[in-house]
Amino acid sequence: MNIKCLFKGLTEREFNERFGSEEQCLAFLASEKWLNGFVCRKCGHDNYCAGASPYSRRCTRCKSIESATAHTIFHCCRIPLPKAFEIAWRVCCSPLITANELSNSLETRQMTCWKFRAKVKECLNSKNGILKK
């Protein structure tokens, strides 16, 4: 999904209702990522069972586990998912927002905001959206 379409027209209240918790963010990522069904990246099998962590999937053939954040811009994100989603939302709503403004409003280190903002901007310029191919 295109990241601009994801946040288009969302007010702050609507954003917080939709992406206010870690579970809501993971549920959204899982639904977007496996919209057309699960296919294991290692063996190509399409049967799965629940993985150990919430919203992860485990291939029933090769036992490979894939989280909802794997192969997305949120993969290996060290800040909480709701904050990462908020950075993405703010950057999509106002592309000229600075890392300093993000840092002050989210109470997160400026360099963290700068790096994730760069990821989001790269995502805005690519065709893949939030999923990395």
Tens digit of each residue's pLDDT (9 = 90 or more) over 6-38: 788 889 999 999 999 999 999 999 999 999 999
Q: What share of residues in the chain are helix, strand, coil (percent, to 5)?
A: 45, 10, 45
Q: Is residue 64 part of a domain?
A: no
Q: Is residue 67 part of a domain?
A: no
**pTM value?**
0.89
Q: Is residue 60 part of a domain?
A: no
Q: Is residue 79 part of a domain?
A: yes
- Can you read off the two tokens belonging to residue 89? 């939302």
Tens digit of each residue's pLDDT (9 = 90 or more) over 75-113: 999 899 999 999 999 999 898 999 999 999 999 999 999
Domain that holds residue 109: 3-35+73-125
Give 86's Cβ-side CA count (13 Å radius): 21
- Whole-number Å distance between alpha carbons of 93 and 73: 18
What's the pLDDT band for 3 if we cut at 50, 70, 90?
confident
Q: Is the pLDDT of residue 127 over 90?
A: no
Number of structural domains the chain divides into: 1
Distance of CA 129 to the CA centre of its chain: 10
Amino acid at 39: V
- Whole-number Å distance between alpha carbons of 26 and 114: 23
